[in-house]
Structure 1
Amino acid sequence: MSARAITTSSAPAPVGPYNQAVLAGGWLYCSGQIPIDPATGSMVGNGDVTAETRQVLNNLIAVLKEAGANPSQVVRCTVYLTDLGDFQTVNALYAEVFGEGVSPARACVEVSALPKGSRVEIDCIAWLGSDATAA
């Protein structure tokens, strides 16, 4: 099986040695997104979890779109929060993107810190189908 990196300027460039996503065998593995504005490279929200979450979701949607996918094809997400007290706020915004049809399986965990001081990070796996090319 071959794999192909997915890259878009509509989402922030990786801050480490990884790809925004990798397409392999019809599966799209999206790296975690944090609230970086891809146009400026700056963090969004100044600690406002609502603004941060909106940017994270926009970044994730941009990566999905670049691969030819949309949120309805996402089958699994992981949500990382630095404060589980933000769960309801993040969950409501998450539902705006992933609440239609069959919602993805999901885990939500509290972590001690996230890159660049973010309060939220989300990654996902999407099924693009057996017709998706990895070459």
Structure 2
Amino acid sequence: MLAELPFVYKMTVQQGNILTEDMVDQVQLGMSRSQVRYLLGTPMLADMFHTDRWDYIYTIRRGHEPMQSKRLTLYFDGDTLTKIDGWIEPDPARALAAEEEREIVITVPDWKDNRGLINRALNTIGVGADD
């Protein structure tokens, strides 16, 4: 009763598998169970009566807002992924765009001579080690 009052703080509660569009876009029909598990993690529900079906469920309740629920169901034939059903479908175009965004160019600065005074002096007279 008191929890419904607007001034009572209710924390955000998240449960289940957090799946992003990028993660789902990497999943392709024909993948093995181990490949899917590597990309999405272990499914939240493992039904012993439907071993060829994996359910990824995610729920979130933010404060006094109603609970939001998302579900992704994957169907396998033996060890091969045959069907994807749920709140988001894999989109190869979106996956390609995300792959292009991920391309990062790193510039490495030139090496600066940070040797000490004694090492530089020894190197000048030919006694020190050349790097």
Quickly name the TM-score band, shorter chain normalised: under 0.3
Higher RCO (CA 8 Å, separation ≥ 6 residues)? 1
Largest Rg, 1 or 2? 2
TM-score, L = length of structure 2: 0.23
TM-score, L = length of structure 1: 0.22
